Structure 1
Amino acid sequence: MAWEGKKYKLDRQENFEEYMKKIGVGMVLRKMGMSVHPTVYLVKDGDEYSFHTDSTFKNTVMKFKLGEEFENETLDGRKVQTVITLDGNTMTQVEKGEKKSVIVREFSDSEVVVTCEYDGVVSKRWYKVV
Structure 2
Amino acid sequence: MAEAFVGTWELKSSDKFDDYMKELGVSYGLRKMGSFTKPSTIISVEGDKVTLITSSAVKTTQITFKLGEEFDETTADNRNVKSIITMEDGKMVHMQRWDGKETSLVREVSGDDLTLTLTFGNVVCTRNYVRGK
TM-score, L = length of structure 1 = 0.93
Conserved in 1, the CA contact under 8 Å of 2:61 and 2:75?
Answer: no
| Counterpart in the other structure of 1:126 | 128
**Runs of 5+ unmatched residues, structure 2:** none
TM-score by length of 2: 0.91
Cα distance in 1 for residues equivalent to 2:40 and 2:89: 21
Q: Aligned-pair distance for 1:129?
A: 1.4
Distance 1:45 1:71 in 2: 20
Detail structure 1 runs of 4+ shifted over 3 Å in the superposition.
none
User: Following the alignment from structure 2 to structure 1, what is the Cα–Cα distance between the partners of residues 90 and 44?
Assistant: 13
Question: 1:43-54 maps to which residues of 2 (within 5 A)?
Answer: 43-54=44-55
Matching residue of 1:65: 66
Cα displacement (A) at 1:88:
5.9
Between the two proteins, the alignment pairs up a number of residues equal to 129
Rounded Cα–Cα distance in structure 2 between residues aligned with 1:66 and 1:30: 30
| Structure 1: stretches of 5+ with no match in the other structure | none
Contact 1:89/1:108 (<8 A) preserved: no
TM-superposed CA distance for 1:108, in Å, is 2.5
Counterpart amino acid of residue 59 in structure 2: K
Q: Distance in 1 between the 2:48 and 2:88 partners?
A: 15
In 2, the alpha carbon distance for the partners of 1:88 and 1:64 equals 19
